[in-house]
Amino acid sequence: MSAVTERPGRARPMPVEERRRVIARATVPLIVAHGREVTTRQIAEASGVAEGTLFRVFADKEAIIDAAVEEFLDPEPFRDELRRIDPSLSLELKLRLILDRFHDRFAGIFGVFASLGGRPRPPAHPEPELIVGIFTDLLAPELERLRVPPERVFAFVRLVAFASAVPHFSDTTGLDTAELADLIARGIAADRPAPSAPAKEAAPCS
């Protein structure tokens, strides 16, 4: 009796919301490269679906672009990147890694909005306590060393990273994230003031 060979079944259809996310994520780099001139054919190829599938989950191309921008601005993947930083690293290295991630985040936002002809804006933090909590966990080994609380460190890092990611400005500062991290960690003043030169004795009157 010969064994019966079972034919592999069809892959489980992807839920609509999952399909939308896959398409939206694949569209983000296409927006940066092509702006609103991106074609649905390019989107379909990048998403690994037939072009007709796009319009079973989106009304039109503009709806795909809107979903891609919304997906890109979702703060949770960015927060996860910060959470993966090892708190046991040195303060300077942690700040450098944090700055790298913030810089990439802001640079990406500038790229997306510039390609779409819109005004770039910092991502909103509707739940600021979440990212402050991440900073508190990352800086826990150094809390006694800090002159400011973690929420102020977050404010400094966010401000510096945003400024360093501004197009045309970032290329002229000559500061990389390692130098910026060192400035945030140590400030610009020495720990101890330099000793003043001894005053010269007045010459005796003749």
Q: Are residues 135 and 62 in the same domain?
A: no
> Which is nearest to 99 in space by CA: 34, 186, 163?
163
pTM assigned to the model = 0.72
Asked if residue 79 and residue 59 are part of one domain, the reply reads no
Are 177 and 107 contained in the same domain?
yes
In a domain, 149, yes or no: yes
CA distance 145 to 153: 12
Q: What is the pLDDT along the chain (206 residues), one digit of tens a residue?
A: 444 444 444 445 678 889 999 999 999 999 989 999 999 999 999 999 999 999 999 999 999 999 999 989 889 999 999 999 999 999 999 999 999 999 899 888 888 888 888 655 555 556 788 999 999 999 999 888 888 899 999 988 988 888 888 776 555 555 677 888 888 887 755 555 555 555 555 555 54
Range of the domain at 28: 16-72
- 42 and 132 inside one domain: no
- CATH code of the domain containing 49: 1.10.10.60
Task: State whether 52 and 87 are in the same domain.
Answer: no
Kindly provide the b/e burial profile for residues 126-155, where b requires at least 16 CB atoms within 10 angstroms of the residue's own CB. Answer: eeeeebbebbbebbeeeeeeeeeebeebbe
